Chain A
Amino acid sequence: MITDLGFFALLTAFMLAIYGCGAALYSHWRQAPKWLASARAATLLTFPLLTVSALSLVYALVTLDFQLEYVARVTSRSMPLYLRATALWGGQAGSLLFWSWLMAAFTTAVMLRDWRRDRDLQPWVIIVCLATLGFFLGLILFYENPFVRLWQGITGTVWTALWQPGEALRYVPMNGNGLNPLLRHPGMIIHPPMLYLGFVSFVIPFAFAIAALVTGRSDDRWIRVTRRWTLVAWLFLSLGLLLGSRWAYDVLGWGGYWGWDPVEIAAFMPWLTGTAFLHSVMIQEKRGLFKHWNLLLIILTYDLVIFGTFLTRSGVLSSVHAFAQSAIGPLFFLFISITLAASLALLSRRWQALRSDVQMTSLLSREALFLLNNFLFIGILIICFIGVIFPLASELFTGQQITVGPIYYETATGPLWAALLLLMGVAPLSAWRASTARTLGRALWKPLLGSLLVVAILLFGGLRHPAALFGFWLCTYVLLVTLYEFWRGAKARHAKNENFALALWRLVARNRRRYGGYIIHLGVVLIAIGIIGIEIFQQETQGQLGIGERLQAGDYAIEYTSLAEFQTADGRLVDRAVITMYRKGIFVRELYPRQDFYMESQQPMTIPGLHSTWEADVYVLLVSWEPITGGNATFKMYLNPLVSWVWLGGMVFILGTLVAAWPERESQAVNLAARSRVVRRPVEARG
């Protein structure tokens, strides 16, 4: 009964999405406000309807209604309540419903804003949002329906259908398959919603961009309206990527956090264009430049969002043949092709109107450096795109399956990342409009000298690895430049009788976007330090140990103490080793690497024993063992220097994004705007 309600709510939401598109189109065509109001009402209704639909599926999951094929596939009796509920996004059909629910939530939030200044844009924002929503709802209804039930014929054949077919009887399995063990981790419970939130919220700036293109508005209004949406989208996407990395580190058991897997890259590509867009829109706001480029970037980001969902949902990654057999793969491909072609056609139609009279005045100006930043981000995107697509192209054209592993991505993108880091240390000190080598040199020499001093200290301390020295120099340099910017601003306020801490607080609070950006840069530097540590200095060793025997990596040693095997209430057979860890011969702590075998799904999971410090992580895996005697066991031990800095950097990064996205008080925003008009014009040239 409740699942029927969920299905009908889904169906109604789909019909409303189609109706809303039509009504909005008609309102634009006939200039009929009534139809626009009707389209808006239809849009607003999709959210409660999809909430009912999603909740009814959650109810079925929690109550283990195994007659639903989806429930039988992703849950089991041994799963705890929170895992049953989050199994909503544990399978294809449920995750598409969850995606749609989030899309409806964001569309509703957009509809509830004050539209008085942007009435002309509203119909097209509705059309784009509802067309995207309608596409996903169509996929769910006709191809990946989570409400289909299991039925059994007289011959014993089991099949799926929404309603009872002929003389078939209800078929309710005794137990379900259970959630994929890899997904039973706190990081994986939060990771997909974060990614989806990031994906979905990028639809909003795209919708405004398309609305601006259709209506012929060549100003930067669409950028100003969606600035916060874009930051929120970027925040969630960044958070999703970070959580995914942490999940990989904790669960996948290979000692690292980023494997350049196509699924990871699928989520990373829209982040790349989104980051380029966030930098590039500043130039349009400040200087009125790059209007075409910004539109192109947001179109690319939107289609990469859909492309990312397509890559992970269509089966294309496993094989082009699986893609051809997939019901939703070709539809995704068609949708991406249509939206990309239509968006580019619109852009080319408005190309002349979007031309800017303003010109670049210096190759060292901030806008020129931002353009270079965009070039580097797009360069990394191209490398990633080719890397993801090439195995598919190879299979299609030559029939050969190939692997494009981390070595390709790391070799190709490494120099571009280094160049981006260097730019982060130059661009904040360059001025808008005019900047000369002399002015830039005057601003740069102090941090440059400081960073070279740090390199000298590292050399004196015995570090000889050229790539590491270069990397640490870059990190120190960017760190000093960023801190120098904070110090310079706070010093200016401190001169007006504010104590230094208050001056720093108010500096950030009064210019959140700029200083939030600098905090993000600090986060990137910390992440880069962690990456240099693990990429260049990681040590690993493997050995078979008897009880009391040791394995050594760097200053650390592990000693095999014991092994126990036991079953848990959630259906796992656990083999857990007890390891004693020493540093330079002194006892540190015990670690418990283990292997969980999920009996329902017959899948093993390797969970590391982990000891984290700012200096290094000791990461121990139980590879194999003698099950009955527990006599000998094989362990793999990784020493991952500085990897904790990646997680610290990630937190700083997110903090910076929150600062930049945090809404300013109305009065403060008005005051700032007025001051920037009257007094701060000459100062703005410095950034």
Chain B
Amino acid sequence: MRRLSLLIGLLVLWGAFALPAAAQEDGPTPSPDEVNAIAKNLYCPVCANVPLDACGTPACVQWRQQIAQMLSEGFSEQQIYDYFAQFGPSVLAAPPPSGFNWLIYLLPPLALLSGGFFLWRGLVAWKLPAAPHSEAKPRKTKFSQMIEDELKARRS
């Protein structure tokens, strides 16, 4: 029993020291360009409508450092976005497509499609037959054909 307790204690100790060390096994330090490529798709939590890569507030400087840290730890781009999304959807460049937010993705195409449909219907219904001075040859009626035939007969 004492041995088991000792083993558990050792494991806990090892876990306490070794796990953070493993987590901090950093890859190569990301370049500022790699950090900015992600930061430009995130928004400052303090200033409205300012992308993270262009903001000089301490919060944004800290967040850029956080992105660099996460990149060096091997996090993917999407994982980094997901991580920052926990601070609220306002840090993302566009609202995540879920729930109420679907409206912003559905309303514009719906408005355009329905507007286009009504415009087309209206134009087709509105349009008159070809104007008299259009290029199309005027259709000969039965009556005009008779007159032309008669005139031809007289000339001959």
Q: Taking A371-B119, A405-B51, A433-B131 as contacts, is the C-beta distance between A398 and B99 under 8 angstroms?
A: yes
Enumerate B26-50 residues with CB–CB distance to A below 8 Å: 31-33, 36, 41, 43, 48-49
Give the docked Cα–Cα distance between A295 and B1 (Å): 91
Give the docked Cα–Cα distance between A245 and B119 (Å): 34
Q: Is the CB of A540 within 8 A of B54?
A: no
- CB proximity of A141 to chain B, nearest CB, Å: 30
A400 at the interface (CB under 8 A from B): yes
Q: Is the CB of A386 within 8 A of B108?
A: yes
* Shortest Cβ distance from A359 into B: residue: B128
* Shortest Cβ distance from A263 into B: residue: B49
A residues near B131, Cβ cutoff 8 Å: 361-362, 433-434
Q: Is the CB of B56 within 8 A of A604?
A: yes
Q: Is the CB of A403 within 8 A of B43?
A: yes
Give the docked Cα–Cα distance between A542 and B37 (Å): 11
- Name which of B4-12, B83-91, B139-147 contacts chain A: B83-91
Give the docked Cα–Cα distance between A363 and B126 (Å): 10
B23 at the interface (CB under 8 A from A): no
* Shortest Cβ distance from A374 into B: residue: B119
B residues near A565, Cβ cutoff 8 Å: none
Q: Taking A394-B101, A436-B135, A543-B32 as contacts, is the C-beta distance between A382 and B95 under 8 angstroms?
A: no
Contact with A along B48-82 (1 / 0, CB 8 A): 11010110100000000000000000000000000
- CB proximity of A357 to chain B, nearest CB, Å: 11
Give the docked Cα–Cα distance between A378 and B49 (Å): 25
Q: Is the CB of B101 within 8 A of A382?
A: no
A408 at the interface (CB under 8 A from B): yes
Give the docked Cα–Cα distance between A403 and B101 (Å): 11
* Shortest Cβ distance from B127 into A: residue: A360
B156 at the interface (CB under 8 A from A): no
A residues near B107, Cβ cutoff 8 Å: 386
- CB proximity of A606 to chain B, nearest CB, Å: 7
B residues near A542, Cβ cutoff 8 Å: 32-33, 36
Q: Is the CB of A540 within 8 A of B36?
A: yes
B153 at the interface (CB under 8 A from A): no
Among B31, B51, B108, B128, the residue within 8 A (CB) of A382 is B108
A397 at the interface (CB under 8 A from B): yes
Q: Taking A382-B108, A436-B135 as contacts, is the C-beta distance between A363 and B123 under 8 angstroms?
A: yes
Q: Is the CB of B49 within 8 A of A403?
A: yes
A residues near B18, Cβ cutoff 8 Å: none
Interface of A is mostly: mixed
A residues near B36, Cβ cutoff 8 Å: 540, 542, 636
How many interface contacts (CB-CB < 8 Å) are there between A and B? 127
Chain B interface category by residue count:
35 or more
Among A359, A360, A387, the residue within 8 A (CB) of B104 is A387
Q: Taking A360-B127, A403-B92, A541-B33 as contacts, is the C-beta distance between A317 and B104 under 8 angstroms?
A: no
B residues near A387, Cβ cutoff 8 Å: 104
A318 at the interface (CB under 8 A from B): yes
A residues near B49, Cβ cutoff 8 Å: 259, 261-262, 403, 405
A254 at the interface (CB under 8 A from B): yes
On chain A, the number of residues with a Cβ less than 8 Å from chain B's Cβ atoms is: 55
A residues near B48, Cβ cutoff 8 Å: 317-318, 403
A253 at the interface (CB under 8 A from B): yes
- CB proximity of B71 to chain A, nearest CB, Å: 14
Q: Taking A318-B48, A398-B99 as contacts, is the C-beta distance between A362 and B127 under 8 angstroms?
A: yes
Give the docked Cα–Cα distance between A486 and B88 (Å): 55
Q: Is the CB of A402 within 8 A of B33?
A: no
Most chain A C-beta atoms within 10 Å of own C-beta, residue among B54, B93, B101: B54
- CB proximity of A376 to chain B, nearest CB, Å: 9
B15 at the interface (CB under 8 A from A): no
B residues near A407, Cβ cutoff 8 Å: 41, 93-94
B133 at the interface (CB under 8 A from A): yes
Q: Is the CB of A362 within 8 A of B134?
A: yes
Among A261, A361, A398, A405, the residue within 8 A (CB) of B94 is A405
Among B51, B95, B108, B112, the residue within 8 A (CB) of A402 is B95
Q: Is the CB of A368 within 8 A of B123?
A: yes
A residues near B94, Cβ cutoff 8 Å: 403-405, 407-408
Contact with B along A516-560 (1 / 0, CB 8 A): 000000000000000000000000111110000000000000000
Give the docked Cα–Cα distance between A282 and B79 (Å): 54
Give the docked Cα–Cα distance between A255 and B36 (Å): 13
Q: Is the CB of A361 within 8 A of B51?
A: no
Q: Taking A361-B130, A361-B131, A362-B134 as contacts, is the C-beta distance between A403 and B93 under 8 angstroms?
A: yes
Among B43, B91, B93, B119, the residue within 8 A (CB) of A375 is B119
Give the docked Cα–Cα distance between A422 and B54 (Å): 35
* Shortest Cβ distance from A378 into B: residue: B115
A residues near B126, Cβ cutoff 8 Å: 359-360
A215 at the interface (CB under 8 A from B): no
Among A255, A404, A406, the residue within 8 A (CB) of B95 is A404
Give the docked Cα–Cα distance between A361 and B94 (Å): 44
Q: Is the CB of B130 within 8 A of A362?
A: yes
Q: Is the CB of A436 within 8 A of B134?
A: yes
A484 at the interface (CB under 8 A from B): no
B103 at the interface (CB under 8 A from A): yes
Q: Is the CB of A360 within 8 A of B123?
A: yes
- CB proximity of A268 to chain B, nearest CB, Å: 15
- CB proximity of A358 to chain B, nearest CB, Å: 9
- Besides the known contacts A378-B115, A404-B94, 8 further A-B residue pairs in the complex with CB atoms under 8 A apart: A379-B108, A383-B108, A386-B104, A391-B90, A394-B101, A400-B88, A408-B104, A542-B32
Residues of A near any B CB (own CB < 8 A): 252-255, 259, 261-262, 317-318, 359-363, 368, 371-372, 375, 378-379, 382-383, 386-387, 390-391, 393-394, 397-398, 400-408, 412, 433-434, 436, 438-439, 540-544, 604, 606, 634, 636, 685
What are the 9 tightest A-B residue pairs by CB atom distance, in nearest-first order? A254-B54, A405-B93, A542-B32, A434-B131, A401-B90, A434-B134, A402-B95, A361-B131, A359-B128
